[in-house]
Structure 1
């Protein structure tokens, strides 16, 4: 993970920051003459980043489209108006969610704004969408930059908070943790569900026929693969390769055959923690070992571990 912290006290500083990390912009402070400041705190991981971004006073910015990432803003304070070429005018207030226009120049009017920002790498999202939904596109394209419903907006906020606080904010998670690597998939999945886009449109046109159960031979093969590779993040490309279809259909087919891949991974990772604790002994913190295997909620992990093995993780480590 990489961390970035910046404070900018002039429009020129903001323009340089935007050009380096997002897109070209022309920024003009406006309003009542208060001191102008823009702040940014970012944590970046493979394929995505999360930021806390705020601006005191008001700005009027003309911004080029962000080409290499989808920028999703959750407004925590203040208000923002986006005047866009492709999506019309969008007003965002506290609790609202919106994507910075990925196409066409736009005007951004912001007043005392405080944002939680998620950036998703465009190329990585497009690959992930193709693997999961079986839709080959050169780029995920949006037909709207606001959520499909209020419920979708709330689910986006919940997912973002989980990744920010439980994953990126967990001091026991190190680079290479299963949970850290899979956080991109959580955000990518929620993004495609939240905003109207070409991938889901195409998947819908292909029909929503009931997915049949996978043959028992294939279920055994996939289950063994999941158990063997439980120390790695769940990879939709591998699931698609193993089953010969989109990962989403493979998951549905496994469940119809009576096998939940999430449950298989959960148990296999508990087994992995147990073996690691036996090897490491009591000198290594339990939460550190659990974090490497993707368990980001210590209380939930300990309950599941005791239920699975009839002892606490500390008992296992003590031998």
Structure 2
């Protein structure tokens, strides 16, 4: 994981930093109220979360980033935000997607505090797929505003969880399963928040393919690769079916989802590791949980207690 911080009241330095940290930018229209900029970034190879606080007004013109760029406004406003076909302004509480990854955009930040979360567009293809076609394209967001206030709240919560419980601990964020699980959860939440090109309802072909043999192949792949950062798309490929057919098969035959089943399998592995561990050698519940993709100790403990009827700490000390 990478982290960086920036704190300056020099607009020239700020312009240079933002240009290097994001893309080529142009800063102008500074207000006399202040010129301090504070930025804190935490990043993995596939995503980054930045908190920015600018005490001045700033105009920006950003070249295409090649990444999905989400913005949550805490205070202040972002005005006259434009990219082809869209002109909008955002205020406190707004959650938006700034622009498609291949579009330039521009606007004005007015003494604002806000969050910028960027993710690799390929993450969307790991959890969903577009409609069948001779040359199907990648999943894309088709709108910049959430479906509803409730959807915006869920995405805001997912970003806060990622920032405060995953990226806040570099050792935790560097765990492959934690990073993979967090990235897939964020991608799925983004798709549930914004209009997009993913086809979620199974086609007639998907329904026909969602037979027990395909499900057995998927379950075998999960069992064999539970200790690796496996994705929904990889499980579907191993089962020789589409992501939609995979999701339908799990709903139809097991009344669950592929990721929920993967989580149960990993929980079982964590259980067996706790049973075999010796707390005298320094093994902790948090370490075991992280190795199996569970970033939040409290949530892990709740899941564990529901499955095994006792706390993971009790299992460790009584092993």
Q: Normalization by structure 2: what TM-score?
A: 0.85
- Output the CA distance in 2 between the equivalents of 1:176 and 1:241: 24
Structure 2 residue aligned with 1:116:
115
3-state SS of the aligned residue for 1:81?
strand
Matched, 1:271 2:268: yes
Structure 2 residue aligned with 1:256:
252
3-state SS of the aligned residue for 1:67?
coil
Q: Quote the RMSD (CA, aligned, Å).
A: 2.9
Q: Identify the match of residue 79 of structure 2 among 72, 78, 81.
A: 81
Structure 1 262/128 Cα, relative in aligned 2: closer, same or farther at 3 Å? closer
8 Å contact kept, 1:86–1:104: yes
3-state SS of the aligned residue for 1:257?
helix
Structure 1 130/298 Cα, relative in aligned 2: closer, same or farther at 3 Å? closer
- Output the CA distance in 1 between the equivalents of 2:219 and 2:202: 28
- Output the CA distance in 2 between the equivalents of 1:14 and 1:40: 10
Residues 186-222 of structure 1: CA deviation (Å, up to 9, x unaligned) = 222222332233x23xx37996898458322332232
8 Å contact kept, 1:178–1:293: yes
Note the 1:34-73 alignment, pairs <5 A. Answer: 34-61=33-60, 63-73=61-71
8 Å contact kept, 2:127–2:243: no
Structure 2 residue aligned with 1:219:
215
- Output the CA distance in 2 between the equivalents of 1:130 and 1:307: 29
- Output the CA distance in 1 between the equivalents of 2:56 and 2:297: 41
Residues 138-158 of structure 1: CA deviation (Å, up to 9, x unaligned) = 555544322233232222112
8 Å contact kept, 1:11–1:29: no
Question: Once structures 1 and 2 are overlaid, which stretch shifts more, 104-113 or 157-166?
Answer: 104-113
Matched, 1:280 2:273: no
Aligned length: 313
- Output the CA distance in 2 between the equivalents of 1:204 and 1:221: 21
Residues 47-75 of structure 1: CA deviation (Å, up to 9, x unaligned) = 101111110021223x1333321211000
8 Å contact kept, 1:170–1:296: no
Q: Normalization by structure 1: what TM-score?
A: 0.85
Q: 5+ residue gaps in structure 1?
A: none
Structure 1 270/316 Cα, relative in aligned 2: closer, same or farther at 3 Å? same
Structure 1 residue aligned with 2:155:
156
Structure 1 residue aligned with 2:292:
293
Structure 1 175/109 Cα, relative in aligned 2: closer, same or farther at 3 Å? same
Structure 1 112/235 Cα, relative in aligned 2: closer, same or farther at 3 Å? same
3-state SS of the aligned residue for 2:88?
strand
8 Å contact kept, 2:79–2:110: no
Structure 1 281/174 Cα, relative in aligned 2: closer, same or farther at 3 Å? farther
Deviation at 1:243, TM superposition (A): 2.8
Structure 1 281/76 Cα, relative in aligned 2: closer, same or farther at 3 Å? same
Deviation at 1:266, TM superposition (A): 2.9
- Output the CA distance in 2 between the equivalents of 1:286 and 1:110: 44
Structure 1 residue aligned with 2:22:
22
